[in-house]
Amino acid sequence: MIYLDANATTPLADEVWGAMEPWLREYFHNPSSTHQGGKRARAALEEARGIVAEWWGAREDEVIFTSGGTEAVNALLAGWDSVACEGYFLTSEVEHSAVLRSGQRMQRGMICCGVDSLGTLRKEEFAAKLKGAAFASVMAANNETGVILDWRGAAEMAHSQGVPFFCDAVQAVGKIPLEVGSSAVDAMAISAHKFHGPKGSGALYVRRGCQFVPMLYGGGQEMGRRSGTENVAAIVGLAAAVKLSAKKLATGAMDDVATIRDAFEAAVIRGIEGVVRNGDIASRLPNTSHLSFAGCEAAGLLILLDDMGVACSAGSACMAGKQKPSHVQMAMGLSEAQAKSSLRVSFSTINTMSEAQGAAMAVIRAVKKLRSVQGSGVGPVVIYTP
């Protein structure tokens, strides 16, 4: 199987598993216990916090460990909603459902800023809408298209208006630098399984002095901000993934991923007509390719590709299997046909150039097959102008 669905999740890196294993078996102790085992677990936890804080350019007391990206997003936004002054929650139309669903639950109301056809934030609209906002949120990179949004710029704009700013960086982590210390970002969420760490492990950065209201109450762990016995192995795994990803970024491994992704796209575009690359290709994650294929429904393509041993997604993993075109592609103004004919192919450092070439050949074969079937009257051939 050629695994090209890294934006859905990534395999655990050997180094990460090596770091985690002792904390699952031999050193199973509760970090709140006062005996030696507990102290050892506490030390591992705090060492992990130090690693994550340093990587973020943050202070250790600004890092809260969570059960993943969804919890980090929900906790932060629900907390701000409960204490913020009057005004609405301002976010973008292309956010992950963790943000959008959190916003939909708020009595204060949520207003979304649009994106252009490349999926980049409409900054003037964002600036105008900041005027009535109590707090705001813009993702670092979109999970479907890989487009990198100007989260630093949006944070600056929010700051200049005194509006607290949160960034969902779950899809960007490990792929681009995310230093927050010198930015105007007040809070940021990441998740370990998107960059070769374990599932069910995430972290939230909350700037010192910025309000945070816990979502979970109980034993007062995480400085009273996230109760529940800490998952030491998962937290150690998150820190190991952070270290590994920093090394990969510094040594150009993500540039190699981009080279592989670009070769895949070039081969597909050479091999068949009617292929459109969606999103801002000048500002996107190094690993993501979002392609539309005229005359092909992604649902059919996915089945054929799966049979050929290629795993990828239609839209986002969360939307896969649903018939509705994704809200992200609708926000970018793609036609329904184009949206429904798009694949998300997402690479990681486990992939090779020969896998990219093999996947491209498989995509070409699958598209040709589907077009020939649909062109023979079994289904409609939908032609759109890119």
Ligand X SMILES: Cc1ncc(COP(=O)(O)O)c(C=O)c1O
Cα(10)–Cα(254) distance, rounded to whole angstroms? Answer: 14
Kindly state the helix (H) or strand (E) to which residue 64 belongs, with its residue range: strand 63-66
Where residue 206 falls (left for φ over 0; alpha for ψ -120 to 50; beta otherwise) is beta
Whichever of 102 and 370 has its CB closer to ligand X, that residue is 102
**318 annotated active-site:** yes
Query: Is 66 an interacting residue with respect to ligand X (CB under 6 A)?
Result: no
In the complex, the smallest distance separating the C-beta of residue 343 from ligand X, rounded to whole angstroms, is 17
State in angstroms the smallest separation of the CB of 192 from ligand X: 8
358 Cβ partners below 8 Å, 6+ apart? 2, 310
Could you tell me the CA-to-CA distances from 155 to 51, 123, 166, 184 in Å, in that order? 24, 11, 8, 5
202 binds ligand X (CB under 6 A): yes
Binding of residue 70 to ligand X (CB under 6 A): yes
- Is the Cβ of residue 70 or residue 351 nearer to ligand X in the bound state? 70
Q: By CB under 6 A, tell whether 170 contacts ligand X.
A: yes
CB of 7 to ligand X, least distance (A): 7
Window 289-328: contact mask with ligand X (x via CB under 6 A): ----------------------------------------
Q: Is 292 strand, coil or helix?
A: strand
Closer residue to ligand X in complex, CB, 295/315: 315
Judge whether 141 and 148 are in contact, CB under 8 Å.
yes
What is the number of the residue whose Cβ is closest to ligand X? 69
Applying CB under 6 A, which part among 57-65, 66-74, 151-159, 300-308 lies near ligand X?
Answer: 66-74
What gap in Å lies between CA 52 and CA 234, rounded to an integer? Answer: 13
221 near ligand X (CB under 6 A): no
Evaluate the CA torsion angle 171, 189, 215, 211 in order and state its sign.
Answer: negative
Residues that bind ligand X (CB under 6 A): 68-70, 73, 96, 98, 139, 143, 168, 170-171, 191, 202
Which residues have a catalytic role annotated? 318
